[in-house]
A and B are shown apart, each in its own frame.
Chain A
């Protein structure tokens, strides 16, 4: 599993830096709709992966290191939309996203380190916030279970 991840990471990093997705100007021109390359790149990645994944699922593919193949598919939830709006804002401001930010630093860009630090901080912050349970009054049974009833 770790070796697979390392090999996939190598190819992914090669493609990202190869296509210069780790450069602010490339992503900025994409988001200004001045250049179609990155949109076409993403579409061609999906165009290659989608039919293969469909075929593997149809054949109930057994993965060598992770059991029967289960692709992540979920219904649309509010958080998918709200989180994506926050993510999209950060993507536009920094002109980069999690994978390309690593490629940025790996090719010598020092400011990229601050983007990476921010992503770690933001992701960790979410983990901390999400773990706080929403406040609601406890039912009698719950209070009893928690041994809080006087």
Chain B
């Protein structure tokens, strides 16, 4: 399997591409780039069979397609059950509920806060929204704190 894609795009290339994504969605469609809304729409489809904001489903499809393309260019998708250091620390039977619970906190918190790492962290800070600047500072600080706690209670395994 031959990789024809850089092992890791440097931050100074990937970052500006993401910045241009925010600009493109705002300047063409007048919409804030936030991915949590796509999950809300998936939930609406599962519950009611219809999405109120169809463009968010297209955003999700595009995102999956772009990432899948990188996977292919790197030599094909690597189907697997690995999950980095967390997958080494937790057996799969514990890993799965922990990931689900983590996801619930992500989804619930993002909607409560009115944005996630993309909606607040990149788009909202780019429009200098006070709510987004404060939310971003808060989730960054919280995530660093929780990560250090996990690092300590696992004796450095995480």
Please give the residue numbers on chain A whose beta carbons come within 8 Å of chain B beta carbons, in ascending order.
Answer: 1-25, 28, 31-33, 37-38, 40-50, 52-54, 56, 61, 63-77, 79-99, 101-112, 114-127, 130
User: At the interface, yes or no: B50 with Cβ under 8 Å from chain A?
Assistant: no
Q: Chain A's nearest CB lies how many Å from the CB of B100?
A: 4
Are the C-beta atoms of A40 and B143 separated by less than 8 Å? no
Are the C-beta atoms of B106 and A98 separated by less than 8 Å? yes
Closest residue of B by beta carbon distance from A63: B30
Closest residue of B by beta carbon distance from A90: B105
A42 contacts which of B15, B21, B108, B131 (Cβ < 8 Å)? Answer: B15
Q: A17-B71, A56-B23 are in contact. List 16 more A-B contacts (CB 8 A).
A: A14-B66, A16-B66, A18-B13, A37-B11, A42-B122, A52-B23, A53-B127, A69-B26, A73-B127, A74-B129, A75-B131, A81-B135, A106-B71, A114-B97, A116-B39, A122-B109
Are the C-beta atoms of B116 and A98 separated by less than 8 Å? yes
Task: Tell me the complex Cα distance, A37–B9, Å.
Answer: 10
Are the C-beta atoms of A50 and B128 separated by less than 8 Å? yes
B99 contacts which of A8, A18, A43, A114 (Cβ < 8 Å)? Answer: A114
Task: Tell me the complex Cα distance, A10–B66, Å.
Answer: 4
Task: Tell me the complex Cα distance, A127–B147, Å.
Answer: 28
Closest residue of A by beta carbon distance from B8: A20
Task: Tell me the complex Cα distance, A101–B83, Å.
Answer: 12
Are the C-beta atoms of B39 and A15 separated by less than 8 Å? no
In terms of DSSP, what is the predominant structure of the interface of chain B?
helix
Are the C-beta atoms of B130 and A76 separated by less than 8 Å? yes
A5 contacts which of B19, B58, B69 (Cβ < 8 Å)? Answer: B58
Task: Tell me the complex Cα distance, A67–B103, Å.
Answer: 34
Q: Chain A's nearest CB lies how many Å from the CB of B12?
A: 6
Task: Tell me the complex Cα distance, A55–B8, Å.
Answer: 32
Are the C-beta atoms of A48 and B15 separated by less than 8 Å? yes
Q: Which of B109-152 contact A (CB under 8 A)?
A: 109-118, 120-132, 134-136, 138-148, 150-151
Are the C-beta atoms of A117 and B131 separated by less than 8 Å? no
Task: Tell me the complex Cα distance, A4–B61, Å.
Answer: 12
A69 contacts which of B30, B102, B108, B110 (Cβ < 8 Å)? Answer: B30
Are the C-beta atoms of B103 and A13 separated by less than 8 Å? no
Closest 6 CB pairs of A and B: A118-B103, A9-B62, A13-B66, A122-B107, A83-B113, A66-B30
Are the C-beta atoms of B29 and A63 separated by less than 8 Å? yes
Closest residue of A by beta carbon distance from B43: A124
Q: Contacts A11-B20, A83-B135 known; A123 to B64 CB distance under 8 Å?
A: no
When distances are taken between beta carbons in the complex, the residues of chain B under 8 Å from A42 are 15, 117, 121-122
Closest residue of A by beta carbon distance from B134: A76
Q: Chain B's nearest CB lies how many Å from the CB of A28?
A: 6
